Each structure stands twice: as structure tokens, then as C-alpha cells.
């Protein structure tokens, strides 16, 4: 540490303001541009891709549910043709699968739509069970149950339409794939309905009606149109691996085998011949012709979902690349700025902090260490000198403050210190806690000085100060405000609490055992005055307590009195 004579003011140094401004502008500009790119990559690409993938997955689940609702018709038809343990078991498994699907959709689609589907499905199941329970199946009951199953599927079609519309509104690029998937789903359901046309007649062994033939022709025409619409989406079929082959298989199975099978059954029923198919054999053969349609539809949806999952992964990778580049450049700029900060700004900030801590009399570690240039060393040496001088001044100031605020003999607060500390206490008074002042005066103290000498009198003052200090709480203020006069400032809820403290102080003084030089006991008593300070200034507060103290003296001393405004009557010591 250099001395005052060796210290020289440091020469003025220049912080590269242009460097800071340029660095800040570069970071701001690059961060803004990178942030825009990152936001676009995140919101426009990644989030959209993730949302689209989630939407396609949800749409796929909805179509699976629709397919299971449609597929429940086959075991239902078999059961109505004659209930067996096997047919009942298959139907229960199909219904359980449909129920799981609808339960899964509970958190995806509107509850109102699901409730309507569940209602229609429950009605259809009840009609199926009723028709199956008839000893001799009636064609009307079977037809009613089949139409109720169609209605259940049609009710769920509102869910399909809502999900499809949501997907297409979210991303117009999904319109064509969604419509293609809807056609595949409708084609599969209409294929199932086509097979159900002949079920009532086949179960009851009755002739095919004109109504059945009309229904067959209507469904066949609609399926032909749907197939032509699928041809418009040939590019969608070619998108996935093997989809074209699956399309060919579906066309060959259904139009080559499925429709001719239904046509043959209708032909047999029209000419009143015996049916060569039973409901079980027809169901098994016909479902096999519909299976390729399901495989094609599921493969198409799997490919569509895979496409959007891949888009999501690519968007995520782009997000990471842009983020990494942005962070790398920002890190490079930050590193350069950090170097300047460490070599120039940080030492200056350390010096500034040290000055502030020194001004506020806080500890500062010495010697000062910094990583700046040697040009900054004189500044830190000057701070060392400043610290030493401020410490010396602080010690002197604390000593003078102690002398100014403390009574030298009793080590209590003096009158001036009590006045300074009392004002904040009085200002902090609340309705729940009041401020009280207890003034005390040693009785016949002049006689003690005259009889035993001033040395013994000082010992009495010290003993009384100790007795008072021992009775108060840590937050109370005890001061010597005159020659033999003391004061206690306390905060408490009620006057009786302050009065109780005054009595304890009074008793503590009476119990003092102060011995003179001849080992004789010096009898010490004191008078006490208690006053409340609500709404008073400090001078008024002291005057009010002083009046109570003089009331105690007039009452013969060695007693406690309360200011008249604070008590209905005088309060004497015990």
C-alpha cells in the first residue's frame, strides 16, 4: 500500500464507446433477424407441422372409430340369424372395441356429438338383441335393427365431418388427402351396407323385395361414383409405397368378387330359389372382399401420417440448426464484448462498487485485485488509501456518536439520544399497540450525596440503571434524562401493561442492596410517573409524564402515578 505522498492521481483513460455501441447494434440486429427466422421456423413450420401431424393422427382415430361402428354390423347380422355362444362372443368383442374407440374420442370431439352417437348406437344394439331373441326371426324386426345400425353410423358422420373441416381449415394442403380418406371410408361403409341389403331375406328365407333391389342399385351406383372420384386422386395413391398395388387389390376383391356375390344372392332370392349361402358363409366371404378396402385406407392414412411426422422432424431439425447458428454468432459477439468487459469495464465496476461500499461504511476486501490493464492500477491504489482513511474516520465517528448518545456513568441512553429514537417509535404507533413513557426520579438523592458522598451517589445511579435495564424488554428504550431522573419508553397494548412494568421497575429499585463504605445498606426508592403518548409531540409527551411523576412525589414519593387523562383515579404503589 502506497502512502499519501506517493499517491498520484491516475491519468484519464478512455473506454471505447464506439466499440460498445457497435457491439450492441450488431447483437441487436443479429438477434432481431435470427429471432424472426427462428420465430418463423418455430411458429410457421414446426408448430404447424406438429399441429398437422396431431390433426391427421386424430382424424385417423376418428375414421378407425367409424370403421369399427360399421364393422359391428357383421356380427350383429350373424347373431340375428341365430344366436350361438360364438356369435354372441364375436358381437360382444366388436361392441367392446367400439366402446373403447368412443371412450378414446371423449377428449377429442365435442361431447354433444358423441352423446348423440352413443344414443343411436344404444338403440341399434337394443333392436339387434330384441330381434335375436325372437324364436322365429321377423323380417321387419331385422330390417329395423339394420336401419338403426345405419343411423348410428350416420350419427357419427357428424364427428367425421367436423374433424375433416377442422383439418382443412387449419391447412389447405390437407384438403385433398382428407377428402380422399373420406371417400375411402364412405366406400367401405357403403360396401358393408350393400352386403346388408340381402341379410333380412337371407335370415328369414324369404324372397328379395323390390325395395332390396332398389337399395342395391342405389348403393352400387354411389360406389361407382366414389370409385371414379378416387381416380381423380391418383397422385395421392402413388404417394405411398405399394398404395397403387393395394388399390388394384381392393378393386379386384370388391368389384370382382364382392358385388357379384351380392348379385348372385339377389338373383337367387328374386326367382324364389333356395339360397346357396347362409348368413354365416355370406358374412365371411363378403367381409374378405371388403378387407382390401380397409387395408388400402389404413395404409393411405399411415402414409399421410408418416408424411406429416417427417415434416415435423424436418421442421424440428431446422429449428435446431437456426438456433445453433444464432447462438454461435451471438456467443462470438458476446465473447468479444466479454473480453472488453473483463479487461476494462469490470475493473471499473469493481472500483465503483468499492467506492459505494466505502461511502456506506461496508467492508471492502484488500488488496484490490483486477484483471484490467496496468493503467488501472493507480485507481485501485487510490481506493486503498481512501478505505484506510474512511475506516479511521468511521472509528472516530462511532466513538463520538457513542459519547454523544450515551450517559458515561450509567451507559444508558442520554436525553438527546432518547429524543431522537423516540420519534420513530411514536410515529409507528398503531391502534393495537400504544407508546407509553415512564419517568422515574430517585427519592431524596441529594440527601444520599450529602450523607455518603458523591462517589456513593454515583454507585446508586449505576445500580438503579442496572435495575431498570433488567426489567425492560429488548425493544424498550431506557435513558438517563437528568441527574437522578430516568425514563423508559415502551410499546404495549394496554395501559395496564405499562402500569405493570412501572410497578416492576418500582419494586426492582426498592429491592436494591447498595452498600456504603461501612457495609451499611443505602436505602434507595424512586417515584414513577406513567403517561400515554397518543396524539402528542415529544415535548407534550415528556410534560405529561413529568406531571404524573410530580404527582407521585406529592403523594409522598416511593410510589407510581398515572397521568390523569390516562386513568380514572390515582394508582399507588403496593
* pLDDT tens-digit readout, 328-376: 877 777 676 666 556 665 666 566 666 666 666 667 665 555 565 566 6
In angstroms, the Cα distances linking 510 to 34, 330, 396, 514, 574 are 84, 79, 40, 10, 11
Residues 426 and 382 in one domain: no
What is the rounded CA–CA span in Å between residue 198 and residue 263?
Answer: 9
What is the rounded CA–CA span in Å between residue 266 and residue 271?
Answer: 9
410 neighbors 495 (Cβ within 8 angstroms):
no
- Per the domain annotation, does 555 fall within a domain? yes
Q: What is the mean pLDDT of the chain?
A: 82
Residue 279, pLDDT above cutoff 60: yes
* pLDDT recorded at residue 313: 82
Which residues 6+ apart lie within 8 Å of 565 measured at CB?
A: 532, 544
Cell numbers for 538, please give them.
415529544
Residues 515 and 533 in one domain: yes
**pLDDT tens track for 219-276:** 989 998 988 888 776 666 555 557 888 888 988 888 899 899 999 999 888 876 688 8
Residues 294 and 417 in one domain: no
Query: Is the Cα dihedral 202, 206, 211, 214 positive or negative?
Result: positive
In angstroms, the Cα distances linking 480 to 181, 271, 545 are 97, 130, 15
Residues 430 and 484 in one domain: yes
* pLDDT recorded at residue 464: 94
End position of a domain, from candidates 323, 356, 386: 323
Dihedrals φ, ψ of 428, to 5°? -85, 10
Residues 102 and 207 in one domain: yes
* pLDDT recorded at residue 270: 87
- Per the domain annotation, does 68 fall within a domain? yes
CATH number at residue 544: 3.30.70.270
- Per the domain annotation, does 138 fall within a domain? yes
- Per the domain annotation, does 508 fall within a domain? yes
Residues 440 and 393 in one domain: no
Other CB atoms closer than 10 Å to residue 443's CB: what's the count?
20
Residues 396 and 310 in one domain: no
pTM to 2 decimals? 0.54
How many domains, in total, are found in the chain?
3
- Per the domain annotation, does 2 fall within a domain? no
* pLDDT recorded at residue 98: 92
**pLDDT tens track for 528-568:** 999 998 888 999 999 999 999 999 999 999 999 999 877 64
Residues 156 and 296 in one domain: yes
Residues 242 and 383 in one domain: no
Q: Taking residues 435-453, report their average pLDDT.
A: 93
Dihedrals φ, ψ of 475, to 5°? -85, -5
Distance of CA 129 to the CA centre of its chain: 51
Cell numbers for 253, please give them.
376383391
What is the rounded CA–CA span in Å between residue 554 and residue 513?
Answer: 26
End position of a domain, from candidates 297, 323, 349: 323
End position of a domain, from candidates 385, 405, 425: 405
What domain range includes position 86?
31-323
Question: N- to C-terminal Cα distance for the chain?
Answer: 67
Which residues 6+ apart lie within 8 Å of 511 measured at CB?
A: 467
Residues 462 and 535 in one domain: yes
- Per the domain annotation, does 352 fall within a domain? no
In 3D space, the residue among 488, 499, 497, 510 whose CA is nearest the CA of residue 557 turns out to be 510
Residues 312 and 163 in one domain: yes
What is the rounded CA–CA span in Å between residue 207 and residue 440?
Answer: 124
Amino acid at each position: 500500500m502506497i502512502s499519501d505522498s506517493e499517491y498520484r492521481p491516475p491519468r484519464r483513460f478512455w473506454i471505447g464507446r464506439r466499440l460498445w455501441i457497435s457491439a450492441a447494434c450488431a447483437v441487436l440486429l443479429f438477434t432481431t433477424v435470427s429471432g424472426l427466422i427462428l420465430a418463423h421456423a418455430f411458429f410457421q413450420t414446426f408448430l404447424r407441422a406438429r399441429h398437422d401431424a396431431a390433426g391427421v393422427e386424430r382424424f385417423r382415430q376418428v375414421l378407425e372409430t367409424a370403421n369399427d361402428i360399421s364393422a359391428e354390423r357383421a356380427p350383429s347380422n350373424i347373431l340375428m340369424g341365430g344366436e350361438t355362444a360364438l356369435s354372441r362372443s364375436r358381437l360382444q368383442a366388436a361392441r367392446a372395441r367400439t366402446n373403447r374407440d368412443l371412450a378414446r374420442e371423449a377428449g377429442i370431439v365435442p361431447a354433444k356429438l358423441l352423446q348423440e352417437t352413443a344414443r343411436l348406437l344404444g338403440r341399434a344394439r337394443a333392436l339387434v338383441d330384441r330381434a335375436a331373441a325372437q324364436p322365429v326371426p321377423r323380417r321387419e324386426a331385422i330390417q329395423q335393427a339394420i336401419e338403426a345400425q345405419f343411423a348410428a353410423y350416420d350419427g357419427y358422420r357428424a364427428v367425421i365431418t367436423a374433424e375433416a373441416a377442422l383439418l382443412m381449415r387449419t391447412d389447405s394442403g390437407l384438403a385433398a388427402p382428407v377428402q380422399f380418406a373420406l371417400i375411402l371410408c364412405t366406400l367401405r361403409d357403403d360396401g358393408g351396407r350393400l352386403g346388408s341389403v340381402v341379410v333380412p331375406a337371407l335370415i328369414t328365407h324369404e324372397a328379395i323385395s323390390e325395395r332390396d333391389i332398389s337399395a342395391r342399385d342405389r348403393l352400387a351406383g354411389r360406389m361407382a361414383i366414389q370409385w371414379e372420384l378416387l381416380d381423380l386422386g391418383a397422385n395421392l395413391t402413388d404417394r405411398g409405397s405399394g398404395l397403387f398395388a393395394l388399390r388394384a387389390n381392393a378393386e379386384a376383391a370388391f368389384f370382382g368378387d364382392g358385388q357379384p356375390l351380392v348379385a348372385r344372392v339377389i338373383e337367387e332370392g328374386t326367382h324364389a330359389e333356395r339360397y346357396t349361402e347362409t348368413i354365416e358363409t355370406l358374412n365371411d366371404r363378403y367381409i374378405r372382399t371388403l378387407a382390401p378396402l380397409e387395408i388400402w385406407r389404413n395404409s393411405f392414412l399411415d402414409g399421410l401420417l408418416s408424411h406429416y411426422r417427417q415434416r415435423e422432424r424436418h421442421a424440428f431439425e431446422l429449428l435446431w440448426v437456426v438456433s445453433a447458428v444464432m447462438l454461435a454468432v451471438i456467443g462470438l459477439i458476446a465473447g468479444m464484448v466479454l473480453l472488453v468487459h473483463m479487461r476494462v469495464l469490470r475493473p471499473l465496476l469493481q472500483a465503483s462498487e468499492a467506492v459505494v461500499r466505502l461511502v456506506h461504511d461496508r467492508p471492502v476486501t484488500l488488496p484490490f485485485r483486477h484483471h484490467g490493464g496496468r493503467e488501472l492500477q493507480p485507481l485501485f491504489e487510490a481506493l486503498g488509501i481512501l478505505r484506510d482513511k474512511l475506516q479511521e474516520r468511521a472509528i472516530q465517528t462511532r466513538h463520538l456518536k457513542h459519547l454523544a448518545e450515551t450517559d458515561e456513568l450509567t451507559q444508558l441512553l442520554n436525553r438527546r439520544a432518547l429524543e431522537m429514537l423516540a420519534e420513530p417509535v411514536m410515529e409507528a404507533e398503531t391502534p393495537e399497540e400504544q407508546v407509553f413513557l415512564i419517568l422515574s426520579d430517585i427519592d431524596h438523592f441529594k440527601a444520599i450525596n450529602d450523607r455518603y458522598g458523591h462517589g456513593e451517589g454515583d454507585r446508586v445511579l449505576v445500580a438503579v440503571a442496572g435495575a431498570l435495564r433488567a426489567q425492560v424488554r429488548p425493544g424498550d428504550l431506557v435513558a438517563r434524562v437528568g441527574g437522578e431522573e430516568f425514563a423508559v419508553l415502551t410499546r404495549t397494548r394496554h395501559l395496564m401493561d405499562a402500569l405493570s412494568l412501572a410497578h416492576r421497575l418500582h419494586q426492582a429499585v426498592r429491592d436494591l442492596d447498595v452498600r456504603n463504605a461501612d457495609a451499611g445498606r443505602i436505602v434507595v426508592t424512586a417515584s414513577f410517573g406513567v403517561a400515554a403518548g397518543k396524539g402528542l409531540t415529544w415535548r407534550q409527551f415528556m410534560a405529561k409524564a413529568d406531571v404524573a411523576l410530580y404527582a407521585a412525589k406529592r403523594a409522598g414519593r416511593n410510589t407510581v402515578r398515572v397521568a390523569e387523562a390516562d386513568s380514572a383515579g390515582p394508582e399507588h404503589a403496593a
